[in-house]
Every structure is written in structure tokens, then in C-alpha cells.
Structure 1
Amino acid sequence: MQSWVDGQPADAIALKSRGLAYGDGLFETILVKAGQPLLLELHLQRLAEGCRRLAITADPALVRSELCAYAGLMGEGVLKLILTRGDSQRGYAVDPLSSARRILQANPAASYPQANALEGIKLFPCTTRLAEQPLLAGLKHLNRLEQVLARAEWRDSEHAEGLMLDTSGRLIEGVYSNLFLVKDGALLTADLSRCGVAGVMRAALLEAAAREGIAVRIGDCVLQDLEQADEVFVCNSVYGIWPVRAFTSLNWSAGPLTRKLQRIARVLLDV
């Protein structure tokens, strides 16, 4: 299916795009089933927060309308929405007259081994560290070079995901997922106020935990927390939840809380 730029079929963007030049923009990766974008409200909430913090002006109603129309034509797959600050001349200064550009791309449905969800995955210990920048923390902005470098660290099929720490040595997230630990029936996930991406599935699971009366602590996580965890899992809005069975010399089983939240995620994603 052809991409859309500003609501029209297109296969190119302007060379003066600030998204291309500076990574000046945001994106969302959205699972589409039966023509419906799943977890749409959470995706749009995160996008709106990103626009607010980066001072990108975009029409929320127009973004929603185009996204839903495009998803309806897609039917099934993974939709990528890119929102840039638009086009400008050379230099970092923002042109107050530039308008946000909306890009929609269709991708085939993701294909992952069933064993990832059933048996769990092994995490790779990434040496690439996430820089601490509170102004950008939590946002899914277009500059993903840290993730690109981290993903290049392993090429084997033994590891399905990599674990990323920040420059202070705190556990933050996977390369393309959020990380949860389980200890004594409670959830622990990283504070993302310094760096990291506040994932949509992470938000959905935190909401589910509140409904189910599951204790949650959002705070600093270190390797000792990982060593002492009863269960470990990663999540995102395309595959749901993967239990973690191994990281270096550490091993876990997919425990009851992981399986319970996995069932909730399957309902949310209809998988």
C-alpha cells in the first residue's frame, strides 16, 4: 500500500524536511487489525504529549481522521505514523510559519516465533548506553541512533531483544520494548524521567495493574533488582508480552503474574 504524506498518496518527502535533517519529529508504530488501529487512544495521547513538549503544532482531529482512514484501507499490518515539524531552510532555528507534516506508512504484520511468547526470550547485554536528557525522556522522537547502535551489537538468533542501561548504570528498557520485573507479586519498572521511551503497552499494563490491584513501583532499577527478580518480561504494542528466560548467567521461568498480564495484553491486541 502506498504511503500518504499530508493525506495524499506519495512516495517521497522534501529534501528540506526537518525530520530528515535533524530527527525533528515524533512517530508511533501501531498494530492494525480488521482495519482498526489498536490502542489508538494511548498512541494519540503520547503523540499529543510529544507535540506539546517539542512545540510542534498539529491538528489532532486531522491526525486521527487520516490515521483511521489509512488503517481502514490497510486492513491488517503495522502502521507507522511520522509527524515532523515540516520543512525549513538550513540551520536549527525553527520557522514559525512551517507546518507539521504527516506521514503514514503501511508495513506487513510482524512475524515473531511463537516460542518468544510461550517459552520466553534471552536478552542481550547491550554496551550502548542511553544518554540522560529529561527534555526528551519518554518521547518517541525520531532520533533513534542509540537503538540503532544497540541493535547492531548482536546478529545471532539466540537473542530476541537487548537490555539497555543509562549512562549511570540504571536498567531502563529493551532496544524496542519496555522492561518489567516481578518481585513478591509486585511490578517494578524503570522511571523514564531521564531517558527511555514511555511505551504504549507499558501504559496499558500499568492501567491494568491498577484495575487488578497489583502493586507497582516505578523507580530506579539496577542490576541487583534484576538478579533478585522472580519474573522478568518485556512488552510493546505490536507483540504484547514476552517473558524473559535468560540474561547472561541469570535464568527465570514465566511466572503467574507474567502469564496473567500476557493474557490481558492478548485481549488488548487481539492476538
Structure 2
Amino acid sequence: MSAARVLVDGAPADTVSVLDRGLSYGDGLFETIRFVHGMAPLWVRHMQRLRDGCRRLAMPVPDGERLLREALAVSCGLEHAVVRITLTRGTGARGYAPPATPQPTRIVAGFDAPAMHGEVYVRGIRVRWCNTRLGLQPLLAGMKHLNRLEQVLARAEWSDAAIPEGLLLDLDGNIVSATMANLFAVVDGALVTPSIERCGVAGVARAEVLAAYADTQVMPLRAEHLARAGEVFLSSSVRGILPVQAVGDTVYVPGPVTRALQQHWRGLGFPMEQA
């Protein structure tokens, strides 16, 4: 794996100010974008979410064309790349009060995409239940903000390499998502996905699935719903459509909805496997 290539405010660098509010308070947003042969099929959706997050946090909206130029620069020469764009509110005086005229810090980093093996997309992955619960905060729900401590604590719960993901519940016991992906299930013949109005991330892959399947029901989901599901899969802008083979002791078989969405993903330009 090659080293990351990083631009900070457009210049090669690997440091930011110790006074940056992203470091001090998690005051900012990020996007993790999959590039294939220099193309990012979900770029528009990523930029829509970033602009929406900036609006909600009252941060200046970055120039999308400049972000694209920088993303292409850090991913140049990588056949399969992941580009992370981090936007913070920049530096400021000590204390929570945001600066009156923020000067955001812009970090664009390119990495080799994680290896993806075809068997995973054929048979699916094993998933566990996490003990860590997600707090409820509608003001932040949907955004991909910089504070990911809940996900860090959840992912620290296990080290079994055979289980790559865990499912997160909120404080009321509703299913929200996996630690790094959104969740879908076919329950009683209908495609459903958890509501993220009170917590969770509005994934761009989730948005693509909702656009492809307009009849998808967004609703509160609990463990008993998954117990009677016919299909379960995860959506991720980096890994695509991942069938779930098992949640704990409950076993599933990838079905027609999962396969159709995998085909949709290939049609967007994403590979379903990578050696």
C-alpha cells in the first residue's frame, strides 16, 4: 500500500495548527469518496451532503471545482482510490464560541482503496450487535461530522477478523446503522431502512439506493424486524452493496433485491471485486 498523499489548503503538507477547531472540538465535516480510474460516480451526492452540512453548521461552503481538482491530484495514478475531504471551521480563540468570520481548513487526502474480494459480494459478511448505543441529537443527525467517538468505541468491542462490521442501536433500542455503513433489509416483501432523523449518517450510497428503489420504506427498525427479514445488506460509498450473511446467530441468503442493487452499482462504474 502506498503512503497517503495529502493537500492542506491546496499545498502538500501533513500537519495542521494545534489551534484548529477540528482538532479541538471535532468542529467540521468529512467525506470519504471512492474513485475508480479517476472517476467518482457518487461525487455529486458527496458534494450535496457536504454543502448541506456546511449550511447546517453555518460554515462557508467550499468551492466544488477546487475540491475536485485536489481530489484528482491526490488520487492520480491510483486505479482504485479513496479520497477523504476534511473541512474544519479553522483556527479560533480558546472556547466553544465559533469565530465570527471563520477561515476553514481544507484537507484532501488520497489513499489506496481497500482490497475487495469477490467472495464477500457473493456470500456476504458476518455482522455482530454492538453494545455501544448512539446518542440522540437531531441537530447533528444525518451529517458526517468529525466526532466519530461512538463509532470508535463500538469498533473497539471486537477484534475477530471474520466479523468486519457491527450494528448500532440508538438509546431507545432502534437499529440505526453499521459502524461504517447504512443498513437495508427486505421485511415482509418490502425494502426498508432505518430512519436517521435523530442520529446516524445519511450515507451517499444510502441515498443512491433510495433513488433506485423509490418504494423503500424509511421507518424505525428493531431487532425483531431483522429476525424475520428475507434479505439484509449494507450500503457504503467505498465498498458498495455488501450482503449480510449473518447477524449474530441469524443467517441470511442474498436475494434478488441485493443482487439487483449490486448490478446497479456495477452500472454506476464501481467494481464488485478488487484483488
Q: What TM-score bracket applies, with the shorter chain setting the length?
A: over 0.9
Task: Say whether 1:255 aligns with 2:258.
Answer: no
Q: Distance in 1 between matches of 2:259 and 2:69?
A: 36
Residue 165 of structure 2 is aligned with which of 147, 161, 172? Answer: 161
Task: Say whether 1:26 aligns with 2:25.
Answer: no
The aligned amino acid for 2:9 is D
Deviates most, 172-181 or 91-100: 91-100
In structure 1, list runs of 5 or more residues that go unmatched.
Answer: none
Alpha-carbon offset, residue 61 of structure 1: 3.6
Task: Say whether 1:138 aligns with 2:146.
Answer: no
Moved over 4 A (4+): none
**Alpha-carbon contact 2:232-2:252 (below 8 Å) kept:** yes
User: How many residues end up aligned between the 2 structures?
Assistant: 267
The aligned amino acid for 1:47 is L
Q: Distance in 2 between matches of 1:130 and 1:209?
A: 27
Match of 2:244 in 1: 244
Residue 59 of structure 2 is aligned with which of 48, 56, 60? Answer: 56
Q: Percent identity, please.
A: 44
Alignment of 1:1-271 (within 5 A): 2-61=5-64, 63-70=66-73, 73=76, 75-76=78-79, 77-210=81-214, 215-271=215-271
**Alpha-carbon contact 2:7-2:70 (below 8 Å) kept:** no
The aligned amino acid for 1:177 is A
Deviates most, 77-86 or 36-45: 36-45
Alpha-carbon offset, residue 71 of structure 1: 5.2
In structure 2, list runs of 5 or more residues that go unmatched.
Answer: none
Q: Distance in 1 between matches of 2:6 and 2:71?
A: 14
Q: Residues 89 and 153 of structure 1: is their aligned pair in 2 closer, same or farther, counting only changes over 3 Å?
A: same
**Alpha-carbon contact 2:29-2:86 (below 8 Å) kept:** yes
Q: What SS class does the counterpart of residue 230 from structure 1 fall into?
A: strand
The aligned amino acid for 2:44 is E
